[in-house]
């Protein structure tokens, strides 16, 4: 009897596999933006988050039960979970508001500033040292923000401020997630993410005693938002597990031209090269910081 041994994937195959996962993430983020704009006609952002999170709880618990990881869920770090999920809830609400009122490409370009805010906030919250490269990256990224927002030439709208604000809250989410992953399992993190945000959504959507239920037309879009959000992060996690951030990040940048084309085809949004120029600077700043961190880690090992 002979045994067939499947060879491990070669190093050359890893970028290709990571790219395939990132295509899934890009399509999921894009579909979530389109679905968010579609349901914004009849649901506010709190209602969108409430229904999305309720559906997410069902999915997460079902997958955890199937995988046998339900016993991992514990409330040992409930306070940090609360802080993380308040940040994510705030950022996601701002994001859903922004995709409904300003060009989608502008939202995605400003969302790319999240790593810049992580660089600036980590010394304050994680006691991490701000390196010269990190400071330079933050400066270049800020110039990119100015090019995208164009203060002075166009009015600073609430939608633009929401898109910029969501990046800050997503950065806070990333920082608190980094703390949680030191002791908590993915199942625990995802359970508290969906469960807490369902409660936050219920409180915020129902404070006036009037929660709108999605119509038959909106319900498929709400389900798509929930599924796309979970699948996007699943794809992104798998891509980062296979390849380094210096490989994954340039692929993620393809989200911008993708959403720009979608915005042009579906909503007649003009493609502004200033958005691409600013986003390119933001991307370059992030990429330089990631590659420098990778070299530093490699040198220490």
d(CA 163, CA 99): 8
49 vs 11 pLDDT, higher one = 49
How much is the pLDDT for 208? Answer: 77
Residue 220, helix vs strand vs coil: helix
**The pLDDT of residue 264 is above 70:** yes
- The model's pLDDT over 110-133, given as tens digits with 9 standing for 90+, comes to 888 888 888 888 888 877 777 788
Backbone region of residue 155 per phi and psi (left: phi > 0; alpha: psi in -120 to 50; beta: other values): beta
CB atoms within 10 A of CB 248: 22
Rounded mean pLDDT of 25-44? 94
- The model's pLDDT over 76-95, given as tens digits with 9 standing for 90+, comes to 889 999 999 999 999 999 99
Range with the poorest average pLDDT among 38-42, 61-65, 89-93, 290-294: 290-294
> Tokens at residue 153, please?
């030439």
How much is the pLDDT for 93? Answer: 96
- The model's pLDDT over 206-217, given as tens digits with 9 standing for 90+, comes to 887 788 889 999
Q: How confident is the model at residue 300 (pLDDT cuts 50, 70, 90)?
A: low
User: Which residue reads 């006609």 in tokens?
Assistant: 41
DSSP per-residue codes, 175-237: HHHHHHTTT--HHHHHHHHHHHHHHHHHHHHHTTS--PPP-TTTHHHHHHHHHHHHHHHHHHH
pTM: 0.84
- What is the chain's mean pLDDT, rounded? 85
How much is the pLDDT for 246? Answer: 64
How much is the pLDDT for 3? Answer: 39
**The pLDDT of residue 283 is above 60:** yes
Q: What percent of the chain has pLDDT over 70?
A: 91
For residue 151, the 8-state DSSP code is B
- Phi/psi at 257 (5° precision): -65, -30
């Amino acid at each position: 009897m002979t045994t067939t041994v499947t060879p491990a994937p070669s190093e050359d195959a890893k970028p290709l596999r990571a790219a395939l996962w990132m295509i899934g993430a890009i399509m999921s983020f894009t579909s979530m933006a389109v679905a968010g704009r579609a349901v914004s006609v009849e649901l506010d952002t709190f209602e969108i988050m409430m229904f999305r999170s309720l559906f997410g709880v069902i999915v997460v618990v079902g997958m955890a039960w199937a995988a046998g990881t339900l016993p991992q869920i514990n409330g040992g770090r409930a306070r940090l979970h609360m802080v993380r999920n308040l940040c994510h809830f705030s950022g996601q609400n701002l994001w859903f508001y922004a995709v409904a009122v300003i060009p989608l490409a502008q939202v995605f370009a400003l969302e790319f500033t999240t790593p810049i805010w992580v660089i600036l906030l980590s010394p304050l919250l994680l006691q991490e040292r701000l390196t010269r490269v990190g400071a330079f990256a933050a400066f270049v990224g800020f110039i990119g923000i100015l090019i995208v927002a164009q203060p002075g030439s166009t009015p600073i709208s609430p939608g633009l401020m929401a898109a910029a604000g969501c990046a800050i809250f997503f950065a806070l989410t990333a920082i608190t997630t980094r703390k949680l992953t030191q002791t908590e399992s993915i199942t625990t993190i995802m359970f508290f993410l969906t469960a807490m945000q369902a409660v936050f959504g219920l409180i915020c959507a129902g404070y006036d005693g009037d929660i709108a239920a999605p119509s038959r037309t909106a319900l498929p879009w709400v389900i798509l938002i929930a599924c796309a959000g979970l699948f996007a992060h699943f794809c992104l996690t798998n891509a980062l597990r296979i390849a380094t951030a210096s490989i994954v990040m340039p692929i993620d940048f393809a989200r911008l031209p993708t959403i720009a084309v979608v915005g042009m085809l579906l909503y007649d949004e003009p493609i502004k090269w200033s958005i691409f120029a600013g986003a390119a600077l933001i991307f370059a700043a992030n990429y330089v910081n990631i590659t420098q961190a990778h070299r530093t880690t490699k040198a220490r090992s």
